[in-house]
Chain A
């Protein structure tokens, strides 16, 4: 965790229009020095637009950006301080790995030996010291992305921007590179922004995640906060898997779902209000026999989906509970001998239920 809480990048009321389309709408955000931040959201949510505005590649329509105490809002790209890595790697195809990494250093007119040392050090750091004289087309996708990363870091920028850097790679390379980027960040302490639509990537890499939708920030928080305490139904649905149950607050602490009643924290939602009660599939408890706990229901198993390390059960209960998912360990499924058509008793622990007012 970065210890510095100094604000490195401050975005104030940033707005970006593309003709009639509002890509980013009045967005404000502060990023601390040395933080690893993920912009996470579905495609078209404005996360890449925001990144490109920070870089100056697609300047914002309005709003200010302050980097390291300096207002950079109207600076051209070449006068800003950042390194960038794209999904397409964007390595210069006619230059060798060495020449690609040295490209930015040569612009600084550094002495030859210094450039050589920096390039070899960086390629050492990303584990590619042998590939120095190869051309990008001769490298694998993962290797190319490492070269792109070295090239972006070569000039020691104050800010590293990663635009979906892992999306073009296959799953195995992706997860190893995820760890490497994270370790690199830990090593160098460079303030980093990663744009991704992959929640797993964001949850595993970020210090803080900025969840975006329709050009606005839905929630900013640590991965744990975002996952366990989503601020909106959108975040709840977008991060991880979530069950939604529609009901009405009848009295403080009670929500009625058709003929059943659930005990939960109704927060400040007044009575008679329609709400959505949510619970993660792994928080649903399954029992073979009837137990004396609040929020228990009898349900039928519709189908099972085997997902490697666990089973996902598609279950159907009384009215209002027709479409639920519950994740169970392989062991439990076998011990309780759960098959399609099995009948189960499930428990929805009140402290695991989150409730959101229904948007009319």
Chain B
């Protein structure tokens, strides 16, 4: 609000006294803002200042950046990263759009199955795709000959591998965009005798436009900030994400690591801003009076799309299947007999089975503490009375992590928590820092999920509760949380799955005692133990799949218990 009308000089403005509830909610707001400041803002600030220092911690201005741009080996990574990210975005958008169109706008058979298959990559760390590609097209790969002179180790491998693991992310956004179609628009177009192709270009495509754009930005960001795939299959093709890792872990050049991560931050932030802008426009498109679109059967179209989805699904499954097969093969390619030898992690470098159990522990901590914290935070943003500016700050703080790639967050955490003067330094190297970092890394999407659920509640619930002299926590516990339980569980599940599969942030923060499964995959692959790496990656897939099933059962149970008041 820019201007305000001022009161006449003799009039005393009214200030409402704070109730106990107001005080509690305000303390909550301050606490969460402080937490986010410590967990996001301060580390990023430390990262920024580190990039302007030399090895001895002396301020050198832009010296490090100058050095970066004068080193072609480093500088070329920018073009490489952009090439890969843009190629993947274009390829995935086309495939995901056709696939999503088939799922939402046709009466093709087995749509439910295709939808399920498309979600497989979400269960796995991005590394799995790259490992699987090595078995298919690597030097000893089954289909090595298909590539002819070219090698899978390089841009081809990175692009194919990235397409695999980002596919479900793009598909989910596009499916959402395509499902919100308004049947009345199609009826109007048909009543005007519009040819099918023209309806597609004037109704379908514009309706999904913002979803497609949004998916494009998400894919771009995921690929440019991912380091699992290029690390495993990138060969000598350097990208920004692997550069950060090499500078920090390989050469211990923290200052240059800071510089590269800031350069990595830039496209991520730009894509984030563009995506926010697109999302804001999309809201205006949706009308509450829309009539759901019911696709009609069209044998030829449905048949062609069925074949297309079948091919995509076979590719998706074959990526997973090859990894499964290879993980059971005793010694590729010389002894193809099946055994559990590769699952005997304890005799290998990489943390052993303990890493796997650490991962589960961390995922449970993230799901339990993260969902509670994030739900409470979004509740404060949506429902605290007055103090608009505090709520805005908390909301901005909650949105910030989406713009920060995991690698950047991880390296920022090293600088911040490992600083000798930081009283929180005791966290460094513990399970605590891994949990904090992972919750922060996936904070924004969870926050938005909770906000969406909370926004669906009648805004007058709080007013009614206050008039009935109900303390705020009673309404929170008796109404707000029960009604939002499905979203709450979704967030817990989202945090669990991501905590299981994430590599990028935690790769800088684990200690020998807190080795994680996803990091173990990376380390074993690094050591040349590709089959055990595949086996460990698959342990993550199995666990995630079991967890997904449990979550679905729990969600169904809760829905059954609560459907009485949901259905009319």
Partners in one complex: yes
CB-based nearest B residue for A88: B458
Residues from chain A with a CB closer than 8 A to the CB of B300 are none
- How many chain A residues touch B (CB < 8 A): the figure is 49
B460 close to A (CB within 8 Å): yes
Q: Considering the chains assembled together, what is the distance between the CA atoms of A64 and B14 in angstroms? A: 8
Asked if A183 is at the interface of the complex by the 8 Å CB criterion, the answer is no
Q: Are the CB atoms of A108 and B469 closer together than 8 Å?
A: yes
Nearest residue in B to A152 (C-beta to C-beta)? B467
* A-contacting residues, B443-481, CB 8 Å: 458, 460-461, 463-471, 474, 478-479
CA gap between A154 and B22 in the complex, in Å = 25
B469's contact among A78, A93, A138, by CB below 8 Å, is which?
A78
B483's contact among A57, A74, A94, by CB below 8 Å, is which?
A94
Are the C-beta atoms of B468 and A151 separated by less than 8 Å? yes
- Which of A79-87, A186-194, A298-306, A339-347 contacts its partner? A79-87
- In the bound assembly, the distance between CA atoms of A208 and B483 in angstroms comes to 41
In the complex formed, the residue of B with least CB distance to A163 is B460
| B461, A90: Cβ atoms closer than 8 Å | yes
Instruction: Report which of B14, B460, B566 forms a contact with A60, defined as CB distance below 8 A.
Output: B14
Are A107 and B16 closer than 8 Å at their CB atoms? no
Contact A107–B483 (Cβ < 8 Å): no
Closest A residue by C-beta to B479: A92
Q: Are A107 and B471 in contact (CB under 8 A)?
A: yes
Contact B469 A20 (CB under 8 A): no
Q: How far is B466's CA from A154's CA once the two chains are assembled, in angstroms? A: 14
Q: Which of B4, B16, B19, B21 contacts A20 (CB 8 A)?
A: B4
The answer, yes or no, to whether B567 is at the interface (CB within 8 Å) is yes
Task: With A61-B7, A107-B468 as known contacts, state yes or no: A93 contacts B17, CB within 8 Å.
Answer: no
- Contact between A90 and B458 (Cβ–Cβ < 8 Å)? yes
A311 within 8 A of B: no
Q: How far is the CB of A91 from chain B (nearest CB, A)?
A: 8
Nearest chain-A residue to B562 (Cβ)? A94
Closest to A155 in B: B468
Once bound together, how far apart are the Cα atoms of A20 and B4, in whole Å? 4
B471 surroundings in chain A (CB, below 8 A): 107
Q: Shortest Cβ distance from B18 into chain A, in angstroms? A: 7
Q: B469, A92: Cβ atoms under 8 Å?
A: no
When distances are taken between beta carbons in the complex, the residues of chain B under 8 Å from A13 are 11
Asked if B3 CB lies within 8 Å of chain A CBs, one says yes
**Known contacts being A78-B466, A94-B482, A155-B469, is A86 close to B460, with CB within 8 Å?**
yes
Any chain B CB within 8 A of the CB of A168?
Answer: no
Supposing A20-B1, A76-B22, A90-B461 touch, asked if A62 and B469 sit within 8 A by C-beta, the answer is no
> Does B201 lie at the interface of the complex (its beta carbon under 8 Å from any beta carbon of A)?
no
Residue among A59, A136, A157 facing the most chain B CB atoms (10 A cut-off): A59
Closest chain A residue to B13, Cβ basis: A62
Nearest Cβ distance between residue B507 and chain A, in whole angstroms? 43
A137 within 8 A of B: yes
Contact surface of B with A, Cβ cutoff 8 Å: 1-5, 7, 11-19, 21-22, 458, 460-461, 463-471, 474, 478-479, 482-483, 562, 564-568
17 more A-B contacts (CB under 8 A) besides A20-B2, A60-B14, A103-B478?
Answer: A19-B2, A19-B4, A62-B12, A64-B14, A74-B16, A90-B463, A94-B482, A94-B562, A95-B478, A95-B479, A107-B469, A107-B470, A108-B469, A136-B565, A137-B566, A151-B464, A155-B469
The chain A residues found within 8 Å of chain B, CB to CB, are 13, 15, 17-22, 55-57, 59-64, 73-80, 82-84, 86, 88-90, 92-95, 103-104, 107-108, 135-138, 151-152, 154-155, 157
